[in-house]
Structure 1
Amino acid sequence: MDPRCPWAWITSRWMLEVEQVRPLETRFRIMSLSVLNEGREVPEKYRQGMIDGWACVRVCVAAQQQHGDEVLRPLYNAMGRLIHHEKAGLGHDMIRAALEEAGLPADVIEAAEDNSWDKKLRAEHHEGMDPVGSEVGTPRDPRARPGRRAAGVLRPRAHPCPRGEAAGKLWDGVLAVASTDGFFELKRGRDRDPIFD
């Protein structure tokens, strides 16, 4: 989860819908678009976001390390809502508001500009991403076994987010294709920007 990624945000909303209709629990993990895209050529319009994006995920790592994995869900929910729905940007005001909403101490914001968190951030990112490969994003099948490439898939980009049983049916389909040995890709052109509903 990188709070600034619109596609990951929409996927997380879908997974929260799936939890309501299928027996699963979504576990939020830290990933960073800034780490993922290091050394890659990115369009000019994304370059500043790659720089600004470090603060959010550093704070997520610090919160996780200081208060446990369970704080990632409420912190991500708060940051994502503020970034994508409230258009609050990536700055310290947004992070302070998210920490307060998630019930976390205000001093966690000190991690935003502290690059000593980057080693742990990179480790968390790679722990989640390396098993599925660099070509895929979230979600990762939680039933993947160690020592085997996980049944990870590039986030299904269904937007607006499917709700209720439609969310469950999409999940069923993703599991079906991801668990098929030798299945690697299903994609079609996208004709719209992210829809946050």
Structure 2
Amino acid sequence: MTSAAPAPHPAQAESSPLTATSTAPVEFFFDPICPWAWMTSRWLAEVQQTRDLDVTWRVMSLALLPANAEPDPEHADGIRRSKEYCPLVALVAERFDSAAVKALYDELGRRIHLDARTDVEAVARESLSAAGLDAALFDERHEGDAALAANQEEVARRVGTDVGTPVLTINGHSFFGPVVSPAPTGDAALRLYDGLALATSVDGFFELKRSRDVGPILR
């Protein structure tokens, strides 16, 4: 006679990111100039191919962080470019939708990070056209300033003003990161997402960190 299987622990009976079938709402805040945000976005796009994620792509700006009010010489050029790209992305978000933001970010990121280009206007106009948008939007980019400032205020409300980009929100829980190099793919990408979704669902969880020993591995 075989014994009955033990009843599952109550915690095991609940749905988790590994088993849930409903669409998970995710928000991803990025600055186009940040290589770390770019790699995190590639990881998230990889996860989105398998997991049922409803991702809203939102722009923030490193230039609007208090710490960058007077940037050091090493970061001054990046902050200058951030002031041009970020309002443009915010304007696209206002006039179109998250899919248009993602398409523009993809095109900007390829040119900024993979091609290492710093010619802001040419990069922006080419990226707009490649994303199916009007290149003339670059001339109106600062009409997105107010929307960008509102996004930055929202980031500060969620995670504070002492962190940069990326900022990720999963099921209402926001945090800075993850910072990855290179961007995980395949099963590793899914394990990272599921682990983050579980960890950040715990009230009182704030930080898990180690020093980086590699730079951005973009390819």
TM-score (norm 1): 0.87
The residue number in structure 1 matching 2:202 is 180
The residue number in structure 1 matching 2:7 is none
**Farther-moved stretch of structure 1 (11-20 vs 21-30):** 21-30
Corresponding position: 1:125 with 2:147? no
Task: Give ranges in structure 1 of 5+ residues lacking alignment.
Answer: 145-150
Larger proportion of strand? 2
Q: How much is the aligned-residue C-alpha RMSD, in angstroms?
A: 1.9
The residue number in structure 1 matching 2:125 is 96
Query: How many correspondences in the alignment?
Result: 189
* Structure 1 residue 36, shift from structure 2 partner: 2.0
Corresponding position: 1:143 with 2:140? no
Task: Give ranges in structure 2 of 5+ residues lacking alignment.
Answer: 1-29
Per-residue displacement from partner, 1:19-74 (whole Å, max 9, x unpaired)?
12322132200111111246655432102321221111111122222223331000
Say if 1:135 and 1:154, in contact at 8 Å, map to a contact too.
Answer: no
Question: Which residue, 134, 143, 154 being the options, matches 2:161?
Answer: 134
Could you tell me the percent identity over the aligned residues? 34
The residue number in structure 1 matching 2:189 is 167
Distance 1:3 1:12 in 2: 10
Distance 1:39 1:160 in 2: 26
Task: Name the SS of the counterpart of 1:27 in structure 2.
Answer: strand
TM-score (norm 2): 0.79
Per-residue displacement from partner, 1:63-110 (whole Å, max 9, x unpaired)?
222223331000001001110001121510100110011000121010
